[in-house]
Structure 1
Amino acid sequence: MAGKSQSTVTNYGRHLAKLALHFNELPTEVDPDRVNDYLHLVKRGHNTPSDSYFKFTVYALRFAYRIEGMKDKRIELPSIKRSKKLPVVLSQEEVRRLLKAPKLLKHRVLIGLLYGCGLRCFEVRNLKIADLDFDRKVLHVKDGKGKKDRYVPLADMLIRGLKTYLEAEQPSEWVFNSKDQEIKGRVGGDFDSRYSQRGVQWAVNEAKKKAGIQKPMNVHTLRHTFATHLLEEGLDILTIKDLLGHESIDTTMIYLHVAQTDKRRAFSPLDRLYLSRR
């Protein structure tokens, strides 16, 4: 709907429903002053993660106003400042340790896809066997963020790992099925047998611990690392934008502040302090 994923629309719906229950009115019918009072209440809330809840309430209202063509009300909503924090990025050595850490081939391939193809968590969960093109060495990412498709390259070592995994596990539709996939046969219908979001997060977190990585990282860190390493290897920013599926180049530009390219690799003055005395 309107370029938003189902999970995003569902999240917006929850926030709008809470606002509607608070006022006992449709969110689009609440006047701006009372909306602002509600937002201040949310911002000061002690029983919710207020910053995140506040942001999603504003985003949900913007979405509802846009759908209803209420431009004036959208303008009156407070602006949301984007975080200026730079993403955490792993080194190549840390990625090598991470890829070796899992005992299960399934988890090694999963992490390989997240890093090697720059996939989002929901994209790796949505991956179907039919999306793998080993002959052309590409992966077809369908219905990414904003419902956009894209192709990303598949590394030779990842193709070998995928072939071994598929032959051993024999998944039926999704590349990564949950352990409860057999329930589908018992209950019938369209039971979703994909690997869960929690399962992906658990696999990455366990690999992080076994690899001895101290940096604060999550599933999305592997996507940040994918983009940064490509930039450091000399790939242009526009191609990286397309591989990531970003709508705007501005989103991709953040990696220019993280990557250490040969052209402008930073160094400490301590590295040069005693060179002239040697």
Structure 2
Amino acid sequence: MQKPVIVFLKANHKGQEVLLVNFKYNLELKEYLKKFEGIRWSTELRSFYLPFDKEVTNGLFKYLRAKNYFIDYSSLRTNKKSMGMERSVNKVTIGTEISLDTLSEINEFKRWMGQKRYSKNTMNTYESMLLLFFRFQHPKAVNTITEKDIIRFNTDYIMANSFSYTYQNQAINAIKLFYRNQTSSQLIPDDLERPKKSRKLPDVLALEEVKSILGLTANLKHRTLLSLLYACGLRIGEALKLKIGDIDKERRFMHVRSAKGAKDRYVPVPERMIALLNKYIESYAPGHFLFEGQNGGMYSAVSARQVLKRSLHKAGIRKSVTLHTLRHSHATHLLENGTDLRFIQELLGHNSPKTTMIYTHVSTTSLDKIKNPFDDFDI
């Protein structure tokens, strides 16, 4: 049976901005949703809802995607004006219909990705993008899609909803890879162009801000997790998949397994981090994973984000900070301490040195040595 499409909507309920979670009745989905922390049912709204918050919304999205549900969150995006001029677009609402033949093609494609050892995240992302794309194109068959159809999808759906470069790029990547496996298609995948990428610099915390965040995280487990993200420059997914056996305390190295791009790497662990890990393991005695939830199993990224949010509030830091900001800050502080970029690339697990080069643009090592003529003004 085809799983229902879940629609995210924003509304005002009892003076509070809330996220509505709408779908055609499905008992399995209903029971699964009820287990998500903070979600409630409103008879008045005839919908599940929870307070609208970016982190919570992202957490719910990942919670639902873990069970392969498709989420339409296009209504959460609003059209924006660019360079003082409003883009003229025909905003199209995507329906829920998709042919059984198309579903079969997508399932076959997903099986192909599996035997090619694509990561689970990539497989799920590409599947959701293709479901969205072909629902937009319905009732057109897979082998009748042309480049004009893709341009219309980009213009009337992605651009009309002001979706990001990353979102658009993921959609094009999914379509290109899918059509490389189609022998009777009118579409030539290599002719499809990816969007032009804008260069955005990562947000970085000052050293004192990191110390403040970690120092004000009272819970030992929470402090150990946040400290590990910063001390070793880990992605949150990498930290949550760690097992006790992945840490070699004698050599002070950590084995990060199946990271982004299905790559393993070894990361050095500072002495103070080893001491903190020993204290944490002695107190909590984790079983399978290094960080586990209250009922066992892997600790959730949603909970980790809530931990950081509380610590940021205590520290009085109001800038936009995510768990990934700790990784960015780690890399930037290494660079400012004189660490070679090639070593930083290896530590972070970057494929290309171009990715690591971005930290040269946020480091203040050279910029703060520039003599500014304003310093000589007598004002």
TM-score relative to the length of structure 1: 0.85
Going from structure 1 to structure 2, the CA distance change for 1:243 and 1:269 (only over 3 Å counts) comes to: same
- Deviation of 1:112 (Å): 0.7
For residue 335 of structure 2, what is the aligned residue in structure 1? 231
Is this contact kept in 2: 1:28–1:65, CA < 8 A? no
Q: Secondary structure at the match of 1:152?
A: strand
Structure 2 letter corresponding to 1:5: S
Q: Does 1:221 align with 2:325?
A: yes
Going from structure 1 to structure 2, the CA distance change for 1:268 and 1:108 (only over 3 Å counts) comes to: farther
Mapping of residues 1-278 of structure 1, within 5 Å: 1=113, 4-21=118-135, 22-24=137-139, 27=142, 30-46=145-161, 49=163, 53-66=167-180, 73-181=188-296, 193-261=297-365, 265-266=369-370, 268-273=372-377
What's the CA shift string for 1:192-251, capped at 9, x where partnerless?
x11111112111222111111122110111111011000000010001000010000000
- Deviation of 1:58 (Å): 1.5
Q: Secondary structure at the match of 2:251?
A: coil
> Higher helix share goes to which structure?
1
Structure 1 letter corresponding to 2:128: R
Query: What is the alpha-carbon distance in structure 2 between the residues aligned to residue 155 and residue 256 of structure 1?
Result: 23
Going from structure 1 to structure 2, the CA distance change for 1:208 and 1:25 (only over 3 Å counts) comes to: same
Q: Secondary structure at the match of 1:151?
A: strand
Going from structure 1 to structure 2, the CA distance change for 1:27 and 1:217 (only over 3 Å counts) comes to: farther
Going from structure 1 to structure 2, the CA distance change for 1:53 and 1:234 (only over 3 Å counts) comes to: closer
Query: What is the alpha-carbon distance in structure 2 between the residues aligned to residue 265 and residue 68 of structure 1?
Result: 57
Is this contact kept in 2: 1:89–1:228, CA < 8 A? yes
For residue 184 of structure 1, what is the aligned residue in structure 2? none
Structure 2 letter corresponding to 1:74: P
Query: What is the alpha-carbon distance in structure 1 between the residues aligned to residue 356 and residue 123 of structure 2?
Result: 24
Q: Secondary structure at the match of 2:286?
A: coil
**Deviation above 6 Å: which 4+ runs of structure 1?**
none
- Deviation of 1:260 (Å): 2.0
More deviation, 34-43/242-251? 34-43
TM-score relative to the length of structure 2: 0.63
Gaps of 5+ in 2: 1-112
Query: What is the alpha-carbon distance in structure 2 between the residues aligned to residue 118 and residue 29 of structure 1?
Result: 46
Query: What is the alpha-carbon distance in structure 1 between the residues aligned to residue 298 and residue 141 of structure 2?
Result: 35
Gaps of 5+ in 1: 182-192
Going from structure 1 to structure 2, the CA distance change for 1:78 and 1:154 (only over 3 Å counts) comes to: same
- Deviation of 1:85 (Å): 1.6
Is this contact kept in 2: 1:28–1:64, CA < 8 A? no
What's the CA shift string for 1:125-145, capped at 9, x where partnerless?
111111111100011111111
What's the CA shift string for 1:13-72, capped at 9, x where partnerless?
0110122233345656522222222222222444x84655433321221332455699x7
Going from structure 1 to structure 2, the CA distance change for 1:166 and 1:56 (only over 3 Å counts) comes to: same
Q: Secondary structure at the match of 2:267?
A: strand
Structure 2 letter corresponding to 1:12: Y
Structure 2 letter corresponding to 1:157: R
Going from structure 1 to structure 2, the CA distance change for 1:92 and 1:272 (only over 3 Å counts) comes to: farther
Query: What is the alpha-carbon distance in structure 2 between the residues aligned to residue 148 and residue 89 of structure 1?
Result: 25
Structure scoring higher RCO (CA < 8 A, sep ≥ 6) equals 1
More deviation, 83-92/25-34? 25-34
Question: What is the count of residue pairs matched by the alignment?
Answer: 261
